[in-house]
Amino acid sequence: MTGASDLPPLKAVFLDRDGVLNIDHGYVFDPARLEWIEGAREAVAAISRAGLKVLVVTNQSGIGRGYFDEADMDRFHDAMQDQLAELGGQINAFYYSPFHEAAIVEAYRVADHPDRKPNPGMILRGLADWNLKPEEAVIIGDRHIDVEAGNRAGMPGYLFKGGNLRAFVAQVLGDRVPELK
């Protein structure tokens, strides 16, 4: 049986956004509608304090569907960063996929784009950008496609079914990140 001590040090945590960090109201892009999942800011702050990278990978088909644009999404992410900074947390990078087979914006109308989860494109880009090996990272998501994308990239995934994200992260990663206990 492989224990946490047999694994390489954890260097990064990939997180889905809607449903893991913020409440998913459906195509959330307005900073005024940012509502954090219980314990999410605290989880990101603890991961940051532990010296790990926090990388968000999020399907954002609302861009391709014309519901909002990339500038709107950037404003939402800026608001997240500002509120995380209050607790000493930060997201090192946001990776997003605006692609969807039903997109009305032609540039984003792509069936089965390599970046759209469950495909691992965003995760693979994050690994490359931060010089990480898959065994040095994990992914936490609220849908099976998040875990599958991580598995396709060669890393373990954890399915967050709601509740307090800080407690969940401590439960699943506490042995690899003692600062979370």
Given a cut of 60, whether residue 108 has pLDDT beyond it is: yes
Q: Which residues pair with 89 in a beta bridge?
A: none
Given a cut of 60, whether residue 48 has pLDDT beyond it is: yes
Query: Which residues neighbour 41 within 8 Å (Cβ) at sequence distance 6 or greater?
Result: 83, 84, 86, 87, 89
* Mean of pLDDT values over 90-94: 98
* Mean of pLDDT values over 87-111: 96
* Mean of pLDDT values over 13-38: 97
In order of their start, the domains of the chain are 14-176 (3.40.50.1000)
pLDDT of residue 180: 79
pLDDT bin (cut points 50, 70, 90) of residue 1 is: very low
Q: pLDDT: is 133 or 3 the higher one? A: 133
Tens digit of each residue's pLDDT (9 = 90 or more) over 111-126: 999 999 999 999 999 9
* Mean of pLDDT values over 170-179: 87
Do 134 and 153 contact (CB within 8 A), yes or no? Answer: yes
Q: Which of 6, 16, 30, 78 is labelled catalytic?
A: 16
Active site residue 72: no
Tens digit of each residue's pLDDT (9 = 90 or more) over 126-164: 999 999 999 999 999 999 999 999 999 999 999 999 999
Residue among 16, 14, 43 at smallest CA distance from 28: 16
* Mean of pLDDT values over 10-35: 97
pLDDT bin (cut points 50, 70, 90) of residue 3 is: low
Tens digit of each residue's pLDDT (9 = 90 or more) over 54-73: 999 999 999 999 999 999 99
Q: Which of 18, 115, 142, 146 is labelled catalytic?
A: 18
Given a cut of 60, whether residue 106 has pLDDT beyond it is: yes
Mean model confidence pLDDT for the chain: 94
Active site residue 69: no
* Mean of pLDDT values over 90-115: 96
| Residue 8, token pair as written in the block | 């390489």
